[in-house]
Amino acid sequence: MLKLPDQKGFYVYILECRDHTYYTGWTTNLNKRFLAHKSGKGARYTKSHPPLSCVYYECFQDQPSAMKREYEIKQMTRLKKQQLIDTMMK
């Protein structure tokens, strides 16, 4: 599991869920958002697919950039997402 940053910013993140699916989102507070997902209050998807850990994140200077990147990641295949995650785990 990654150590999540404490500072606020504009983050895009990927969570690995209990069923080994990935959930991608964006937030301004990564720790708070992850805890919301864990408690079942983060998103409809993570309510029924509880997250195990945050496996990837990127930080951006502004909201539009983060939202654009979130969209790009959501369009990726599972293989491409896995390759992205692997770069962070190294």
pLDDT of amino acid 5: 84
31's tokens? 């720790």
pLDDT of amino acid 1: 63
**Could you give the percent of the chain with pLDDT greater than 90?**
87
pLDDT of amino acid 53: 95
What's the pTM?
Answer: 0.93
pLDDT of amino acid 4: 84
For the chain, which domains are there? 10-89 (3.40.1440.10)
Model confidence pLDDT, tens digit, residues 6-39: 888 999 999 999 999 999 999 999 999 999 999 9
